Amino acid sequence: MKLKDGLILREVAGQFVVVPTGKRVQEVTSIVYISSSGAYLWDYMKDHEFQKEDLVKKILEHYTGVTGEQAAVDIEKFLKTLADNNILDDGKIRGQVFVKMPKGTGKDGV
């Protein structure tokens, strides 16, 4: 997986904020704040494709006193936040898709 293009991270008043640019402004409609740990990971993620395990390893290398289990749980939440806000390109399609079928094409012919 990877971060979508057209996104930058800025520190504003001591908070890290994901800022969409260009066409991403239409897709990322919420203000997304991330922690300093998330900002540390962002620096790696913006230039690399990665898996959850890569991020766990980065956290364990950078921080002391963190268990692999806790890092995995926290990173799972972090990735979910990114995915839910159209920031993460993980190959999954999100949202609802509606397909209008012509009459008579349903399984019961109606």
Q: Given this model, what pLDDT does residue 21 score?
A: 93
Question: In this predicted model, what pLDDT tens digit does every residue of 48-93 receive, in sequence order?
Answer: 999 999 999 999 999 999 999 999 999 999 999 999 999 998 776 5
Instruction: Please answer whether residues 39 and 56 qualify as being in contact, where contact means their C-beta atoms are separated by less than 8 angstroms.
Output: no
> Residue 36 belongs to what H/E stretch?
helix 36-45
% of the chain beyond a pLDDT of 90: 73
Cα 7 from Cα 87, distance rounded (Å): 8
